[in-house]
């Protein structure tokens, strides 16, 4: 009961900030001015989502709460690595959560991912025009995913949200590994053709 | 950089979802450091993650979660990290940024071990036991790598020099992102040694590889 109430509350807050441009602006203010109000907005939007993803990926409740804290802390600490011209805040926070899972659960290193972000920042950036384009990119990706057939969408969800490996997905769905791979490629291909249509 | 051989799309999705182990992640990241188009593709793949996370049913967080975080910041343990974007283009480095943490700034400084005539190897220790292995190879010009069927996936990124196989010529920045069942027989192009970064799924494989290297070479 309590969780249902909380959820409703979260949804109301979400209505006010569910706009990629608002999130992006907030993220930039956090990076440039350590703006806590902006960060609070990001926190109220992302913390329940990050925690949900961690739970779906197999964390226990208390571990998910702690990990969520670490993820949001990293969003704050590494704010300057976020390149607004290069992608949505959603995708950025997703990668921070992904990296936390890699570092903490698998004991590998997410360092290479950060290095790639740094390179991205440094490579020729983006005028206001590209900024528009990047928002459009994120929209195209969403469109493509909304149109995916269920069998492809399910594989994407298992891989990105439930943190399953390709071979785990194959086992769970009782499919050959090759089929999992080809469905992934199909899903990706659809997204790509949507993106190319706007290029 | 003129790159002709890129990452498989399934690999890009695995990278974006965090499904690759440390050895393969490193080869992918090193290619991304060299390849603008795959870097954009990886970004797009990460947008998939953003989209999926955005639509997940939210989980309630503890009521004082934000205050807790602000307290950590006030305590001064969690300062923002400054980013030094000039590191990547450091003029005197010929090593892709992600790999520099493991082997330093210069290919010349890598310490090689001769494992077969014309074949030098440098093992990179990382990740957990039983995971894929990561190593560098330095193969002399004209040297053929014997055909090796792959017991598992293998990924090779050329850092300098070039080799040729039935898929074409692989030069600096090119990546051979191979499925288990692809057979190939690279031969290093004349002129200079070929230095590459390799991740292989099964560590024992390399032994077979060396055994085969000991067999007579085809030279061009
Ligand atoms: Zn590429």
More confident residue, A63 or B208: A63
Give A-chain residues touching B65 at CB under 8 angstroms: 43, 47, 65, 68-69
Q: Which pLDDT does position B82 carry in this prediction?
A: 81
Interface mutation vs chain A, best among B20, B45, B60, B103, most A CBs within 10 Å: B60
Taking residue B129's Cβ as centre, other Cβ atoms within 10 Å add up to 5
**Per-residue model confidence (pLDDT) at position B150:** 54
Question: Would you give the end-to-end CA distance of chain A in angstroms?
Answer: 48
Nearest-angstrom CA–CA distance, B62 and A73? 15
Mean pLDDT (chain B) is: 85
Q: Hey, of A93, A115, A139, A145, which one would you mutate to test binding to chain B, going by the most B CBs within 10 A of its CB?
A: A115
Name the token pair of B82.
């400054």
Per-residue pLDDT tens digits for B186-210: 899 999 999 999 998 864 444 455 5
| Residue closest to A43 by CA, chosen among A67, A16, A75, A7 | A75
pLDDT class of B2 with cuts at 50, 70, 90? confident
Which pLDDT value is given to residue A87?
A: 87
Helix (H, G, I), strand (E, B) or coil at B170: strand
Q: Compute the distance between CA of residue A11 and CA of residue B27 in angstroms, rounded to an integer.
A: 41
B28–chain A nearest CA distance, Å: 9
Non-local (6+) Cβ contacts of A189 within 8 A are: B9
CB contact under 8 A, B61 and A65: yes
Does the pLDDT of residue B214 top 70, yes or no? no
- Write down the pLDDT at residue B202: 65
- Name the nearest CA neighbour of B170 among B207, B145, B204, B135: B145
* Cross-chain residue pair A137–B25, CB shorter than 8 Å: no
| Smallest Cα distance from A127 to chain B, Å | 17
Radius of gyration of chain B (CA): 21
Task: Characterize B49-67 residue by residue with b for buried, 16 or more Cβ atoms within 10 angstroms of its Cβ, and e for exposed.
Answer: bbbbbbebebbbbeeebbe
* Residue-range domains of chain A with CATH: 1-126 (1.10.1740.10), 133-199 (1.10.10.10)
Cβ separation of B13 and A112 shorter than 8 Å?
A: no
CA B147 to each of CA B33, B203, B215: distance values in angstroms, whole numbers, following the listed order: 29, 18, 11
Q: What is the pLDDT of residues B64-85, one digit of tens each?
A: 999 999 998 888 777 788 877 7
* Per-residue pLDDT at A131: 53
What is the average pLDDT across B41-66?
Answer: 93
**Whether pLDDT at B40 is above 50:** yes
Does residue B23 carry a pLDDT above 80? yes
In tens, the pLDDT along A137-186 reads 778 888 888 899 999 999 999 999 998 998 999 999 999 999 999 999 99
Q: A83-92, A154-163, B28-37, B207-216: which has the minimum mean pLDDT?
A: B207-216
pLDDT tier, A102 (very low <50, low <70, confident <90, very high otherwise) = confident
For residue A3, pLDDT over 70 is answered with no
Between residues B37 and A8, the one the model is more confident about: B37
pLDDT at A126 over 90: no
Q: What is the pLDDT of residues B97-150, one digit of tens each?
A: 999 999 999 999 999 999 888 999 999 987 666 778 899 999 999 998 755 545
Ligand 1: distance of its center to the CA of B28 in Å?
A: 9
DSSP code, position B175: E
Q: Is residue B26 within 8 Å of B98, Cβ to Cβ? A: yes
Neighboring chain A residues of B53 at a CB cutoff of 8 Å: 49-50, 53, 90, 93-94, 97, 160-161
Q: Which pLDDT belongs to residue A4?
A: 41
CA B111 to chain centre: 19
- Report the pLDDT value the prediction gives residue A86, as an integer from 0 to 100: 81
How far apart are the CA of B38 and the centre of ligand 1, in A? 4
Q: Minimal Cα distance from B17: which residue of A?
A: A160
Cβ contact B32:B42 at 8 Å: yes
In terms of CATH architecture, what is B103-218? Answer: Sandwich (2.60)
What is the residue-averaged pLDDT of chain A? 84
User: Could you tell me which chain B residue has the CA closest to the CA of A64?
Assistant: B61
* Torsion over CA: B133, A167, A104, A97 (sign): positive
Residue A2: band (very low, low, confident or very high) from pLDDT cuts 50, 70, 90: very low
For B7, list phi and psi in degrees, rounded to 5.
-75, 145
Residue A19 DSSP code = -
Mutation site, A7, A126, A160, A190, interface B, largest B CB count within 10 A = A160
Percentage of chain A beyond pLDDT 90 is 56
Q: Which of B192, B191, B193, B154 is nearest to B175 (CA)?
A: B154
């Amino acid at each position: 009961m309590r969780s249902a109430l909380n959820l409703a509350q979260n949804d109301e807050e979400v209505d006010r900030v569910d706009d990629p441009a608002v999130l992006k602006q907030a993220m930039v203010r956090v990076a440039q001015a350590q703006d806590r109000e902006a960060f609070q907005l990001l926190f109220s939007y992302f913390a329940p989502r990050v925690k949900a993803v961690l739970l779906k990926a197999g964390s226990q409740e208390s571990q998910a709460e702690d990990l969520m804290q670490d993820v949001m802390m990293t969003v704050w600490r590494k704010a300057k690595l976020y390149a607004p011209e290069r992608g949505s805040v959603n995708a950025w926070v997703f990668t921070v959560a992904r990296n936390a899972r890699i570092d903490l659960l698998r004991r590998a290193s997410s360092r290479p991912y950060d290095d790639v972000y740094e390179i991205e920042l440094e490579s020729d950036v983006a005028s206001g025009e590209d900024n528009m384009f990047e928002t459009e990119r994120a929209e195209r990706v969403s469109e493509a995913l909304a149109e995916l057939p269920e069998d492809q969408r399910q594989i994407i969800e298992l891989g990105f949200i439930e943190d399953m490996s390709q071979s785990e997905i194959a086992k769970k769905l009782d499919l050959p590994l090759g089929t999992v791979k080809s469905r992934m490629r199909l899903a990706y291909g659809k997204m790509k053709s949507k993106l190319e249509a706007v290029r | 950089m003129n790159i002709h051989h890129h990452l498989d799309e399934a690999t890009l999705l695995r990278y974006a979802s965090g499904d690759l182990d440390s050895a393969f992640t490193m080869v992918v990241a090193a290619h991304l450091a060299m390849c603008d188009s795959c870097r954009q593709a990886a970004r797009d793949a990460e947008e998939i993650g953003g989209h999926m996370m955005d639509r997940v049913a939210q989980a309630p967080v503890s009521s004082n979660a934000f205050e807790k975080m602000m307290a950590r910041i006030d305590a001064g343990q969690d300062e923002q990290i400054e980013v030094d974007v000039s590191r990547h283009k450091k003029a005197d480095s010929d090593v892709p940024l992600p790999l520099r943490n493991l082997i330093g700034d210069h290919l010349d400084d890598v310490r090689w071990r001769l494992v077969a005539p014309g074949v030098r190897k440098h093992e990179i220790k990382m990740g957990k036991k039983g995971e894929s292995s990561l190593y560098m190879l330095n193969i002399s010009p004209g040297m053929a790598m014997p055909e090796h069927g792959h017991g598992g996936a293998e990924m090779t990124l050329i850092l300098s020099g070039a080799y040729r196989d039935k898929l074409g010529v692989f030069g600096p920045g090119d990546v051979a992102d191979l499925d288990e069942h692809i057979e190939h027989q690279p031969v290093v192009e004349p002129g200079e040694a070929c230095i590459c970064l390799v991740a292989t799924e099964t560590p024992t494989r390399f032994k077979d590889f060396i055994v085969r290297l000991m067999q007579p070479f085809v030279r061009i």
